[in-house]
Each structure stands twice: as C-alpha cells, then as structure tokens.
A and B are shown apart, each in its own frame.
Chain A
Amino acid sequence: MLFFIARRLAQSILVMLTVALIAFTLFQYVGDPINNMVDQDTTLAERERLRQELGLNDPPPVQFWHFVQRVSHGDFGVSYRLKKPVAGLIAERFPATMELSLISAILALGIGIPMGVYTALHRDRLPARLFMTLSLVGISLPTFLIGIFLILLFGVQLRWLPTFGRGEVVHIGWWSTGLLTKSGLQSLLMPAFTLAVFQMTLIVRLVRAEMLEVLRTDYIKFARARGLKTRAIHFGHALKNTLVPVITIIGLQVGSIIAFAIITESVFQWPGMGLLFIQAISEVDIPVMAAYLLLIALVFVIINLIVDILYFVIDPRLRVNK
C-alpha cells in the first residue's frame, strides 16, 4: 500500500512537470506580455530591457527550466499585471472558488440523487418525465447561457438576487467566507446553481440508470420474496448499491467542477481563481497562468490518488490480486 502511494506520488510529479511543460509551450502563442505592461509612449529600448529582465528572450525550454527551479523553491513569481506575488493572489482567490465548488457539489448531490431515485422508481409518472426532460435541457445548454438567463430573470426582472460578485465576506484567518452574511449567501445562489446544473443532470441520469439496473437483480427479487418493506428494499439495498459507482464518478467530477468554475466565475464576476485565470489570459500574465494550471493539475492528481486508494478500501478483490 505504502509502496503504491509512493509510486503514485512519483508519477504525479511527472504529470505536473508535463503539464508545466505543455503550458510553457502554449505561452509562446498567447501574445506578447510586454505590450500589456507598457504604454504606447514607452520606447523600444525600454521594452527590450523589460523583456530581457523578465527572461522572455530565453528559449522556451530555458524559461521552463527557470520556472521549475523557482517553483521547487516555493516561488511562483510576481504577477505581471497586478505586481503582487502569485502565491498570495491565488491564496486570496482560493476560498471563493472552493466555496462555490463545494456548495454546487452539495446542490448537485442533494437535488440530483433524490431526482434520480424518483425517476427510477416511478418511471411513468408525469414528474419523472418532466425531470428527464429538464435534465436533457440542463445537459445540453451551455453554462454561459444558463448563467445569463438566471441573471436576467432573478437579477434584472425580479430583482431578488444580486447579479454579480460575492457580496459581503467575513475573514476567518486567511479564509474569506461569504457563507456568514446575507448578501454573501444571496450572491452564492445563482452561480452555485449554474455550476451545479451540469453535474446535477449527470447524477440524475447516472443514479436512474444504475438504480434500474440494481432493481432487476436477483437479490432485490429475493428481498421482495422475503417480504421486506418496499422502503427498505429501495433505500436500504437498491440505493446503497447504486451509490458505489456514483461516488466514484462524483469524486472525479469534483476536479472538473473546480475547472468548470472558470465560465461560471466569469459570467457572475465571481472573484475566484477561474476569473483570475481568465483575466491573466487576456493580459498574457504568464506567472499567474502557469501557477493556476499547475494548481489545477495538482487538484486532479490528488483526487485521482484518493480515488485509487478508495478502490483498495472498497474493493477487496484488488488487494487479493496484488
């Protein structure tokens, strides 16, 4: 087990290095950062000096090597645009993205699982059909459109909810939270729902399919034959067995919720890491882009590691084979 984790960690470092290398290759094509750092009156000589100082004249492999060297010392550099250390910027934005992702994951599970169970148990009832139609809409509409639609309806027409930002936040140590203020909670509703829609529809369909599968198995038939209560069969046996693959998928989806947050954050001007990244792209702020991509890679690596370990815990057969 320990050997397995150690090997996985070593592989993770390789993955991160690859991500950083690909990122640095891509940075050659995003534009010229110098143009966004100087004004139209800056002399060409001055621009050249700046380029030299930032090491932008070095070939990409050399730039990459310098980046890796600095990162291994825990230094992510300074944002070209905001002139602040990147690590600090990301730390500032991290709570916003995490709260948004977490709440939307809870929303997706809290609404998605009951809806999935309902549609599986009562396939022919009208609400079940309605849910399935809705989930089709949810899975096919782009996040951007859903966000804009919600803003127009609840923000502009009804004026119930704020259309942008995070509202008032409370600082607890280095963590900033919007969960403790009214305006913070109000601001969270629309973005969290927007981000949750895709995962929610995915969960509804997954739970429904798995549940239908399980309901057909022999042990459910035997349970019925034994005269167990329907309720106990459905929730005690069927749902429990349904959830194993669902949880695996959801674990993997947490990563993509964080990554998908980019679009939601930019529609709602949510001050998270995704918005920081989008702004970094438009201004060719290479240190911020590099750090963000590395962080997202790290998140995926960690999640995959946890999922792998969970397999060992859940499935005894894997342990026997080793």
Chain B
Amino acid sequence: MKLRTFALATVAALALGATMAQAKTFRYAFQGDAQSLDPHGLNETFSLGFLGNVYEGLTGYDAKMNLIPALAVKWETVNPTTWRFYLRKGVKFHNGSDFNADDVIFTWKRATSTESGQKARASLITGMKKIDDYTIEMTTAGPVPTLARELAWLYIMDKEWSTEHNATEAAKPSAAGRENAWATTHENGTGPFIVVERQPDVKTVMKRFPGYWGKPKTNVDEVVFTPIKQAATRVAALLSGQIDLAYPVPVQDWNRINKAPGVKALTGPEARTIFLGMDQARDELTNSSVKGKNPFKDIRVREAFAHAIDLNAIKRAIMRGASWPSGLMWAPQVNGYNAKMNTPYKYDPAKSKKLLAEAGYPDGFTVGMDCPNNRYVNDEKICQAVASMLAKVGVKVDLLAQPKSKYFAKVTASGGYNTPFYLLGWTPGSMDVHNVFMNLIACRNKERNMGKYNIGGYCNKRIDELTDLIAKETDPKKRQAYIDEGAAILHKEFGYLPLHQQPLSWGVSEKVSVAQRADNVMDIRNVVVNK
C-alpha cells in the first residue's frame, strides 16, 4: 500500500516536472523566513513584504515607493477625520470568493484583536461604515493625514474563510493560541501568488493566481523561496546558479559577485537612516569616567562629537562607497523629506577639540558605547570607526558590540534605556516622517506612547508640539513647515548625530530583472525572468 502511494507520488511528480519545464520559475533567498502567514502577525518589513505577494491592502507601493491604488480604486477625505474608500470590483480571493466591503470591516476588527501585530495601525481608525458593497467610510479620532499610507500594510482577509477556520483573531504566541492558528500556516489573499507549499524556515513555493485582478509586469509562474541563514552559504547558492536572487549579501562580497559570470550585485540607498544617540536624560552616565554629571547634557560636548565624526571616511573605508551621508533622521524616500534641510555636520576635529576644552574636558573623557553586530550593514565596523575618530579628539570609547537580541534588550525601554552612547537605525514603518518624530525625537512619554525609541532621552517641548501638529495637519505646505522647523531645532541642538543611509545589498542573476525597492521589500510583481 505504502509502496503504491509512493509510486503514484513519483509518477505525479514526474508529470508535474514535465509540465513545469516551460514554466518560468523564480528562486530567491533571504537570511530568514517570514514569521507567519498571518497578515496580522508580526509587523516586520520582511514578513509583510513577503506576504505582500499573497495578500494586498487597500493601497500599495510601486517599484519607486509611490503610493498606488490596490484593493481600493480611489479614496478621498470627506473631512479631516473622515475618509471614503471606493473598493475595486471583481476581485477574488484565492479560494474564489468575492472581495467586498464586509471583508474590509472584518479585517479592521481582526487587526485590532489582542494578539494582532497590526493593532497600532488598525487603531488609527475608530469607526468604519459600509456605504454599499464597494464603498467604505472610515473615521479617525483626530486627523491622520498618513492613513492611506498606513493602509498599504493592512492586508485584507476574507471574512467567510477566516470565520470558517476559526481564525477571526490573530493567534496568540502562548499555548492558549493553538486553536485559532489556522491563518499562521494557511493563506487566502487576493494577491498575484498563491502559497502551494510551506515548510517554515525551509522552503515556500508559490504559484501564479490565475484569477488575479491586476496585470503586473512579472512573467513568473512559480516562486521558490528558501531562507538561508549564513551569508557565505547564501552567496555560494547565488554563485552556483541554484538561486536567482539572494539578499542581503555582504558588502565585502560585491567585488567577488561582480567578477563571477552571470551574476551582479545590485545596490541602492535603503530608506533606513543609521545614527548615533547620546544619553541626555541621566544625571550621571551609566558608563563613563565623568562622575557626578552627564557631559552629554552640555550642548558643546554633543557638538564636539558631531564634528569629530568623518562621515565620508566611513563611506569610503567601511561602506565601499555605498552609503549616503545624512544630516537628517529620515531618508529621501520618506514622506516629509526636504533636501534643503539635509546638511550633514561638518568634519572638523580642531573645532571639536576646542569645544571639548571649553566644556571642561581638555583631555577628553571615557564613555561606553553600545552597538549591535548583526543588525545593520557593517554596524560593528561603523562603531569601531566612530571610536577611533573620537579617540583623535581625546574621547576614549569603551565599545560593547553584541548580537541584536542582547543589544536591544539592554538599550531599549525593557532594559531601562541602559546606554550612554549607542548606534541605531530607523525606517519609519509608515514611510512618513511623523513616525520618526513620534518614536525617536519626541520626549519620552509612556502614557502617550511617544519617544519610545528615544533611547538618549532628548527632549524639547516645541518638538513635542510640532509632533502633534505634524500628526494632524492636512495642508501639505503647513505640514512641511512644521517638519522643517522640527528638523532645524534638532539639528541646532545636536539631539542626534545622523550618519548615513545604508545601502541595500542584493545579489542578482543576470537571468532576471528586478526592481529594488528602498524599503528592501521583494515584490515579485516587478520580477521578470528572461530565458
């Protein structure tokens, strides 16, 4: 019996193999796997980007990060707190059922359930009203000018399917959650690809959805995704031709990849800004030779640090030319960016020494620094370079570089912001500058959920006011004025020391053409396989 099943399976596999010969297959690898198939699971760029091939939101992003219609054909603001979305007709879920307004309302409710990773996003909306099957009205507590951008990541699920499989809430991570875990291993989206096979951490196979409403550029019929954890193994798999695209690849491997036949390194600026932060909250630093006071409370010390760091040297020596020195805490791809405001601090070690002497540290001082070593591109090397640059002006840095799990546990809120000086990177999830103000620049305020990642505790009351104004202002001109005012204050007060935008680093076979999105999302709609 077993043997017969096996034989049948083999015959079926062979038959499948024969028909697959003409099909266009795209194989790619990333360093990890999507955490779950649940679109309301972890709110993390890779997982959401991966699921974006299967699920869709009301809006979406194109290859150049422009906001485009997806499951909504258009939208308008009735008044600053009311939005009307006109839904796309004739859209089918992968199981064949129709998409309509009920699914949107269901999705919103599901995304606000206790264990949902999309709770912050979905809670922006306080009410939803069905006007007809294809028109929806959403209300927000205050004006949320970025709502349409936020909705690009809120993927729509089928109400009937979710109800049928008891998946009307996002699954719990603890033992109690086993009963409603169906959506973590199964999908039913409206996207151009269907997951046909999934072994978490091992392999995911997707097939083109024949009933897809759109006409994407891609000619891919089958997608094979494999997570490969080790960078060396990932690059080897690309060089050997077993996969068509691998990301990220180490910056130091670019030369090798470009010299190898049939593959090339693809790079561009990522929408992630890398910066340094200084503890300006404590009265005495946690790890420093200065006792009884906090040198970072003195603006001259912060300014001295700003002028001691040579961004171009970091770019040249560590980033192999592939970084974009920055004077702002947000990248050009982020909504609210103004190129005029982007003036990096000048490298001027003499001025830096003078400032330190004025502040009462003619011989410098010793300060601890925290740094991740597996989170950002060359993170540890950047910290080492910063340490040696500061040494030139007399500041001795006691560097502690550790894996991200340990690093974040120490420096973030859960570890009590336990760091005097640190390196961090930030991409605003909403691709809007308000997210940066709210999480990094506004004063820490647990009740209002503000300044959560303001690890250094920088605080300026005017910036708090501006943060609220930016959140609510719907007139683009006025809003930009507020943003620029905030940027100028931060720049003048040396609240943070922005370093650069880090590069995206993909290795791509010449057999495929892809679009490299600035948020490092692999959208297969843009992949074309050439024979």
Chain A positions within 8 Å of B, measured between CB atoms, are: 29-47, 50-51, 53-54, 70, 75, 77-78, 80-85, 92, 148, 151-152, 155-156, 159, 162-166, 168, 170, 172, 180, 266-269, 271, 275-276, 278-279, 282-284
Contact = CB atoms under 8 A, between A and B. Distances in A.
B185 interface: yes
B240 A159 contact: yes
B413 A44 contact: yes
Contacts of A43: 120, 449, 452
Contact of B233 (A32, A37, A38, A163): A163
Contacts of B232: 148, 151, 267
A40 B439 contact: yes
B412 A35 contact: yes
Contacts of B229: 266, 269, 275, 278-279
A163 B184 contact: no
Interface in B163-206: 171-175, 177-178, 181, 184-185, 199-203
Contacts of A148: 232-233, 236
Contacts of A75: 175
A80 B173 contact: yes
Nearest to A83: B184
Given A32-B408, A151-B233, A275-B229, A47 B121 contact: no
A44 B233 contact: no
Contacts of B276: none
Given A156-B236, A163-B236, A284-B405, A84 B184 contact: yes
A81 B449 contact: no
Contacts of A268: 233
Given A46-B119, A83-B177, A284-B405, A164 B237 contact: yes
B460 interface: no
Interface stretch (B41-49, B96-104, B481-489, B490-498): B41-49
B322 interface: no
Contacts of B6: 170, 172, 180
A147 to B, nearest CB: 8
A183 B227 CA distance: 18
Contact of B9 (A38, A83, A163, A170): A170
Interface residues of B, number: 64
Contact of B177 (A78, A164, A271, A275): A78
Contact of A38 (B117, B175, B404, B446): B117
Contacts of A34: 414
A77 B175 contact: yes
Nearest to A172: B2
B142 interface: no
B233 A35 contact: no
B293 interface: no
Contact of A163 (B2, B177, B237, B429): B237
Nearest to A161: B240
B173 A83 contact: yes
A275 B201 contact: yes
A166 B202 CA distance: 9
- List 6 A-B pairs, minimum CB-CB distance, nearest first: A31-B405, A32-B409, A39-B43, A271-B202, A41-B120, A31-B406
A164 B429 contact: no
Contacts of B429: 39-41
A100 to B, nearest CB: 14
Nearest to B43: A39
A54 B13 CA distance: 43
Nearest to A171: B9
Given A84-B184, A151-B236, A172-B2, A41 B9 contact: no
A83 B42 CA distance: 11
A78 B179 CA distance: 12
